[in-house]
Amino acid sequence: MKINTILSQIGQDFTAIYECEHCGRKHKSHGYDDHYFHSEVIPEMKCPSCGKMADDNCRPLQPKYAPHEVI
């Protein structure tokens, strides 16, 4: 899965439209805007339709805020 669009964000919590790279299915879900979530959690998400996860060449987004920034 990958993030297609971030719909809203409060602090580091966000709501986004995720999209499957394999079948193109989109669905709305929540997330947390830090390096771990973008690089570890999102690539391991299974698509609700086809059940596949991201390929090894997945390039995750970077968090909006750096770890040292206080929100």
Q: Evaluate whether residue 71 is within a structural domain.
A: no
Q: Per the domain annotation, does 25 fall within a domain? A: yes
Residue 55: per-residue pLDDT = 85
Domain that holds residue 42: 1-64
**Is 30 a domain residue?**
yes
pLDDT of residue 57: 81
- What is the distance between the alpha carbons of residues 61 and 50, in angstroms, rounded to a whole number? 23
Residue 69 lies inside a defined structural domain of this protein: no
Q: Which pLDDT tens digit goes with each residue over 6-52?
A: 999 998 999 999 999 999 999 999 999 999 999 999 999 999 999 99
pLDDT at 25: 97
Domain membership of residue 70 (yes or no) is no
pLDDT at 29: 97
Structural domain total, the chain = 1
Neighbours of 47 (CB within 10 A): 19
pLDDT at 56: 81
